[in-house]
Amino acid sequence: MPGTMQPTVGGCLAMNIHGKNHWRVGSFGEHVIGFTALLGNGEIVSCDKNDSSGLFHSMIGSFGMLGCFLTITLQLKKVNSDSVEVSSLSASNFDDLLMIIDQKKGCDYVVGWLDCVASDAIIGRGVVHTAMYLEAVEYENDNLITRYDLPDKLFLLPYKYIWIILKLFNHHIGYKIINMLRFYSGKLRHKHIFNQSLVQFNFLLDYIPNWKRAFMPGGLVQYQCFVPFDDAIDVFTNIINSCHQYKIIPYLGVVKRHRNDDFLISCNLDGFSMALDFSVTEKNRDRISQLMSELDEIVIDAGGRFYFAKDSNLSPDTTRSFLKKKVIQELINKKQDCDPYNLLQTNLSRRILPELHR
């Protein structure tokens, strides 16, 4: 389950998306029984987990480079309720945050919200939210009809203009305020338990209609890296310190627990990911790009990985260091078989792996 309700099923499989339940249930591709796809060579193929061609294993996650998914058969899971019971736990630094997330990884969902402003001894402080599906009996007592409705107004402002409030905080001091408010409200609600709809728990930004307008005209970029368990504290600390040195504060920082999978192209590993959202302006665009390239080196040195769905900056060299020769060669071989005329290309693929299109 991604952090927005907008993606298509094809897009989810092409990027092999994950959610706040990645440790517990794995990535999207792990729930696929089979699919049909139109390859770049015009052939329509049908694949399942046991297929001997290796296409199942290589098409899932390979960012649409081999073919287009036409139909996807998913193994769904029955839940008794559309709501979850959420627990809020405050963490005083990265050691604490990652320890709580790891201890709670057996919950249906677990996610850490960072205070990206904190430094030194309190760097990495934040709030962990865990969630468990509610049982049917609790569901029956709940008010289903109003569950997804947004209020008409917040104070006097119609809800559809709520992005304007977000925009008022779209500057350096605003990010500091947002980060600190998130941390202190979490601290006040330490061990607080409350019910939330699944939609509300998972799709934070979708709850702000037109949220993208708050970041106009520059837009936003996210930096997400995946780091092995033992290196996560050091790597994440270095990353936040680098942001501070550049004086570029992420307005949102999210940490999740992950596990390995065996798809050809995969960001997943036994460890943690940290996703940092940066608001872009004409003035800071180049510096953010420079910062991200520095962060890439920290991640690569620790044997970390990247998630192409969120990437806007990876260089071919960094991509090669992450994927390694053997995997890239296997992808190139598959590409030559499935799409010999190079019909399937994107700005992403041309930037990160130009050799795929030679």
Ligand X SMILES: Cc1cc2nc3c(=O)[nH]c(=O)nc-3n(C[C@H](O)[C@H](O)[C@H](O)COP(=O)(O)OP(=O)(O)OC[C@H]3O[C@@H](n4cnc5c(N)ncnc54)[C@H](O)[C@@H]3O)c2cc1C
CA atoms within 13 A on the CB side of 331: 25
* 34 lines the binding site for ligand X (CB under 6 A): no
Strand partners, 257: 272
Is 210 a binding residue for ligand X by CB under 6 A? The answer is: no
Cβ 138 to ligand X shortest distance, Å? 26
Report yes or no: 133 and 1 within 8 Å, Cβ to Cβ: no
Sole window of 4-12, 79-87, 137-145, 165-173 interacting with ligand X (rule: CB under 6 A) = 4-12
CB of 177 to ligand X, least distance (A): 21
Among 21, 32, 57, 69, binds ligand X (CB under 6 A): 69
Per CB under 6 A, the segment of 17-25, 101-109, 112-120, 149-157 that binds ligand X is 17-25
- Under the binding rule (CB under 6 A), the answer on residue 303 touching ligand X is no
Q: Which of 29, 40, 61, 64 binds ligand X (CB under 6 A)?
A: 64
Cβ 37 to ligand X shortest distance, Å = 7
H-type helices in the chain, by residue range?
9-15, 22-25, 55-59, 94-103, 136-140, 163-168, 172-188, 198-202, 232-245, 285-301, 316-323, 325-338, 347-352
Q: Which member of 63, 94, 113, 236 binds ligand X (CB under 6 A)?
A: 63
Candidates 19, 34, 54, 218; binder of ligand X (CB under 6 A) is: 19
Shorter beta-carbon distance to ligand X: residue 139 or 169: 169
Closest distance to ligand X from the beta carbon of 253 (Å):
14
Burial 200-235 (b: 16+ CB within 10 A, else e): bbbbeeeebeebeebbeebebbbbbbbbbeebbbeb
Residue 228 in the binding site for ligand X (CB under 6 A): no
Residue 28 vs 183, nearer CB to ligand X: 28
Q: Per CB under 6 A, which region of 8-16, 41-49, 100-108, 143-151 contacts ligand X?
A: 8-16
124-163 residues near ligand X, rule: CB under 6 A: none
Contact call for residues 82 and 198 (beta carbons, < 8 A) = yes
Q: Does 57 bind ligand X (CB under 6 A)?
A: no
DSSP string, 22-83: HHHH--GGGGEEEEEEEETTS-EEEEETT-TTSHHHHHTTSTTSSEEEEEEEE-----S-SE
**356 binds ligand X per the rule CB under 6 A:** no
CA atoms within 13 A on the CB side of 208: 14
Strand partners, 226: 273, 305
- Whether the Cβ atoms of residue 210 and residue 160 lie closer than 8 Å to each other: yes
Judged by CB under 6 A, which of 2, 54, 218, 228 binds ligand X?
Answer: 2
Residues that bind ligand X (CB under 6 A): 2-4, 7-8, 10-12, 14-15, 17-19, 63-64, 68-69, 205, 309, 346
